[in-house]
Amino acid sequence: MKTIAIANQKGGVGKTTLSSHLAFAAAGANMRVLLVDFDPQASLSLGCNVAVPDPAYLTTLDLFSERPVNKPLQPVDDHMSIIPAGDEELYEYLGATTDVLLRARAMLRALAPKFDLCIIDTPPERNSLLIGALASADFVIVPMTLGLYEMGGVSKLFNTIQGVQAALNSDLRNLGILLMKTNGRSAKERAMVKAMREEHGDYVLSAELPERAAVRQAVNARTPVWSNPRGSSHEKAAKEWSDACAMILKETTK
């Protein structure tokens, strides 16, 4: 099982949308997918129609338990299962110690024989849950929108990733930045994209995902944007997202 953490220390950049679309793409390729929601806001869980977690199934809270937990995984469909965020008690682990984080990593690794791919959605700030996700992952990808605060936070996030690589997970590979919600008609944004590529080089992925209404509609419908596209804008979004997800999956399955 390969594990991808979707990370950014700022909210609203599209982490959960990317997490779900990668899962849809992998499931469409007949991969067995495990989704894990490390964000107490639980957007990924909600997107998988788990508004209120069933305590009979494994939750992220259970991953941090001191005692062994023997619960089944909650299915999403024939190819996907989810470990939902649990209830608001997950906020108590924002400052968890390293040994607690490593318990979660051990539990996820024990599930590896059942899955081909694990995708971890993370909280929008630097805390122990983000560190725990990075410590558990083989890869990290950074979805990012363009703006003063977002661009200013990239170096801080990369420092966090490097710290985890040095202290907890030397095998973690940074796949880089995926630019999201861009506006190619804006000269200012085109200049910002150019500046990002000049500053961060190959860490900025070649794929780029413009702002499209079809993506919001797909999220609300809990379907991938490439499902039954209607109209030229929707078709563009479908191709952009399917191509980007295929590129990422290819990198993680080499």
Which pLDDT score is estimated for 202? 87
Distance, CA of 146 to CA of 187 (rounded, Å): 13
> Is pLDDT at 12 greater than 70 in this prediction?
yes
How would residue 239 be classed by pLDDT, with cut points 50, 70 and 90?
Answer: very high
Contacts 24+ apart (CB under 8 A), 102-109: 102/135, 102/168, 103/63, 103/64, 103/65, 103/66, 104/60, 104/63, 104/64, 104/132, 104/136, 105/132, 105/135, 105/136, 107/62, 107/63, 107/69, 108/3, 108/36, 108/63, 108/136, 109/136
Instruction: Look at the chain and report how many structural domains it folds into.
Output: 1
CB 10 within 8 A of CB 149: yes
**Residue 148: what pLDDT?**
65
Section 109-121 average pLDDT = 96
pLDDT exceeding 70 applies to what percent of the chain?
98
The pLDDT of residue 52 is 85
Measured distance CA(74)–CA(148) in Å, rounded: 39
Rounded to an integer, the average pLDDT of 2-11 is 93
In the chain, pLDDT over 90 holds for what percent of residues? 69
Buried b (16+ CB within 10 A) or exposed e, 197-216: beebeeebbeeebbebebbe
**pLDDT value of residue 42:** 92
Count of C-beta atoms within a 10 Å radius of residue 231? 10
Residue 149 has pLDDT above 70, yes or no: no
Query: Who contacts 163 (Cβ-Cβ below 8 Å, separation ≥6)?
Result: none
Would you call 110 exposed, middle or buried from its count of C-beta atoms within 10 A (0-12, 13-18, 19+)?
A: exposed
Give the confidence band of 152 by pLDDT, cuts at 50, 70, 90. low
* CA–CA dist 37, 57 (Å, integer): 14
Whether pLDDT at 189 is above 90 = no
pLDDT-wise least confident of 5-19, 39-53, 144-158: 144-158
Per-residue pLDDT for 89 more than 90? no
The larger pLDDT score, comparing residue 179 to residue 147, is at 179
Residue 174's DSSP bridge partners are 140
Average pLDDT, the chain: 92
pLDDT attached to residue 1: 95
What pLDDT digit, counting tens, does each position of 15-73 carry? 999 999 999 999 999 999 999 999 999 999 999 989 888 889 999 999 998 887 889 99
* SS3 of residue 117 by DSSP: strand
Cβ(58)–Cβ(72) below 8 Å: yes
Domain that holds residue 20: 2-252
Helix 128-136, helix 98-110: angle, nearest 10: 40
CATH number of the domain that residue 160 is part of:
3.40.50.300
Is 226 in contact with 240 (CB distance < 8 Å)? no
How far is 17 from 107, CA to CA, in rounded Å?
25
